[in-house]
Structure 1
């Protein structure tokens, strides 16, 4: 009788474990495709690696034309992008305040 209970319990546990994911879902992670070669680097499909603002939509000629326009006549989104790009390249950091509970 005890052997029957143990076998029935083990069978129930195995059924619950296998019911967690259907057999047709596969055994890989959900949401991420399998890559053949993980060392492949993603790059710009247009062949340009220079950073451009989103509003330019990848048009390098537009940026070149905007650079030739006087600063007073440049669009605000372009000036804003230049300022944010400069801030991203040289971030302002402050030293961390020492913790009085740990650093004695």
Structure 2
């Protein structure tokens, strides 16, 4: 009788552990997707690296670069940070899930 209780307890533990991730989510952990970075960069034939707000105006970018950093507009500073993040994405290695092999 005690053996049946132990088997039942382990079965309930296994079911609860496997129920943490739905079956349709796959068996592997979800990480950073491997996509091509420059999907829309050359959409209109432009080769310069300008933010959308500049609308291809190189003189505007040159004037903004001559300003001190604390006087530059927020859209330009945010664009620079987003471009750096897009070019050098920060990824962390996925830890193995001990419940997958159950």
Normalized against structure 1, the TM-score is what?
0.49
Alignment correspondent of 1:8:
none
CA distance in structure 2 between the partners assigned to 1:97 and 1:52 by the alignment: 38
Specify the structure having the higher radius of gyration (Cα): 1
Alignment correspondent of 1:65:
63
SS at match of 1:61: helix
Deviation at 1:73, TM superposition (A): 1.1
- Return the structure number with greater relative CO, CA threshold 8 A, min gap 6: 2
CA distance in structure 1 between the partners assigned to 2:101 and 2:57 by the alignment: 53
Distance 1:103 1:90, change over 3 A: farther
Q: Give the aligned length.
A: 62
Extract unaligned runs of 5+ from structure 2: 1-40
CA distance in structure 1 between the partners assigned to 2:101 and 2:86 by the alignment: 32
Normalized against structure 2, the TM-score is what?
0.50
